[in-house]
Amino acid sequence: MTDAKTLAYINMFAVLGSLENLCKLDEQAKNILSGTKPVSIGFDVKDGPKATLNFEDGECLLTEGCSDCDIRLPFSSPEKFNGLIDGTVTPVPTKGFSKIGFLLKSFVPLTNRLSEVLQPTEEALRDPAFFELNTRMTFYVVTVAISQLGNHDPISTFSAQNIEDGEILMSIKGGPKAIIRSENHVLTTFKDSEGKPRSVMEFGSMQLANDLFNDRVNSLACIGDGSITMKGMISMLDNMNRILDRVGMYLAS
């Protein structure tokens, strides 16, 4: 079972938050935003997450809170915000009507491109460059989702309570990396950071990571044959992996 509030946090910080990476990695996304003057979109979810996407000349940054934004999109519940992500809800801005053109001409095409990358066709994945883009982007979504689950999912918070203070490094060999920091059992993900990890989990290749993210291989078997490397404080990794096991269920929601 999934929790709507937890899913809203994942959709906000892991899914929408991955626009930061898309704008760095994907030429189509860069072109959509090319020449964009500074503009920000605030997402205000009642009883849920609040964050702002800041855009400027091809770049994007997600920040917590939405008190200072050019366009405000309110949502009466986490379920309504989740509807924005799955395409069933169209919000009405309460601020920034003069900037509606940015929403329609830039933000919507950008989120459509994000959907193409994160939910690709089999044909698209045959292109090696697109395959790598999909894998990198999925990695960023997954690593941020781990922290959101650990902090909000009623089941995953139990595992987070058993993760000692410190940092876990997750990476794909030759590819992206992220730190998951546990501090007083609150998890925070830092993308593209090596930090000072007490524990390390490394996927042996882009292909392996993609297969794992899409449930085509068994993680325990990969650990056994050495294609997933785990070292350091194994108890931290064990509890993180319990959270990781729930990520796919939420992302498929």
Which CATH number belongs to the domain containing residue 76 in this structure?
Answer: 3.30.1050.10
pLDDT of 221 higher than 90: no
212 and 248 Cβ atoms separated by less than 8 Å: no
Residue 115 and residue 143 in one domain: no
In the prediction, which pLDDT does 192 show? 94
% of the chain exceeding 70 in pLDDT: 100
Residue 166 and residue 75 in one domain: no
Residue 219: give the domain boundaries: 127-251
pLDDT of 183 higher than 90: yes
As a whole number, mean pLDDT of residues 234-250 equals: 94
As a whole number, mean pLDDT of residues 158-181 equals: 97
As a whole number, mean pLDDT of residues 137-156 equals: 97
Which residues, including other chains, have CB under 8 Å from residue 69's CB and lie 6 or more apart? Answer: 40, 41, 42, 52, 95, 96
In the prediction, which pLDDT does 253 show? 75
Residue 82 and residue 131 in one domain: no
pLDDT of 18 higher than 90: yes
Residue 109 and residue 132 in one domain: no
Residue 214 and residue 152 in one domain: yes
In the prediction, which pLDDT does 136 show? 98
Tell me phi and psi for residue 182, to 5 degrees.
-110, 120
Which residues, including other chains, have CB under 8 Å from residue 250's CB and lie 6 or more apart? Answer: 2, 6, 7, 10, 145, 149, 153
In the prediction, which pLDDT does 2 show? 87
As a whole number, mean pLDDT of residues 221-227 equals: 89
In the prediction, which pLDDT does 187 show? 98
> What is the pTM for the complete model shown?
0.96
pLDDT of 119 higher than 80: yes
CA triplet 96, 43, 120: central angle to 5 degrees? Answer: 110
Helices (H) and strands (E) in the chain, counts: 12, 9
In the prediction, which pLDDT does 36 show? 86
Q: How many CB atoms lie within 10 A of CB 134?
A: 22
As a whole number, mean pLDDT of residues 153-180 equals: 97
pLDDT of 242 higher than 90: yes
Last residue of a domain, one of 119, 143, 167: 119
252: confidence class by pLDDT, cuts 50, 70, 90:
confident
Last residue of a domain, one of 93, 119, 145: 119
Last residue of a domain, one of 96, 119, 142: 119
Q: What is the DSSP letter of 103?
A: I
Residue 115 and residue 131 in one domain: no
In the prediction, which pLDDT does 57 show? 81
138 and 210 Cβ atoms separated by less than 8 Å: yes
Q: How many CB atoms lie within 10 A of CB 179?
A: 20
Which residues, including other chains, have CB under 8 Å from residue 177's CB and lie 6 or more apart? Answer: 169, 170, 171, 192, 193, 194
Q: How many CB atoms lie within 10 A of CB 142?
A: 21
CA atoms within 13 A on the CB side of 2: 22
% of the chain exceeding 90 in pLDDT: 87
Mean pLDDT across the chain: 95
Split into its structural domains, the chain has a count of 2
List own/partner pairs for 24-29 with CB under 8 A and 24 or more apart. Answer: 24/59, 25/133, 25/136, 25/137, 26/113, 26/117, 26/133, 28/113, 29/110, 29/113, 29/114
Residue 140 and residue 215 in one domain: yes
Which of 187, 249, 250, 244 has the alpha carbon at shortest distance from 219?
Answer: 244
Tell me phi and psi for residue 40, to 5 degrees.
-135, 145
CA 168/CA 132 separation, integer angstroms: 23
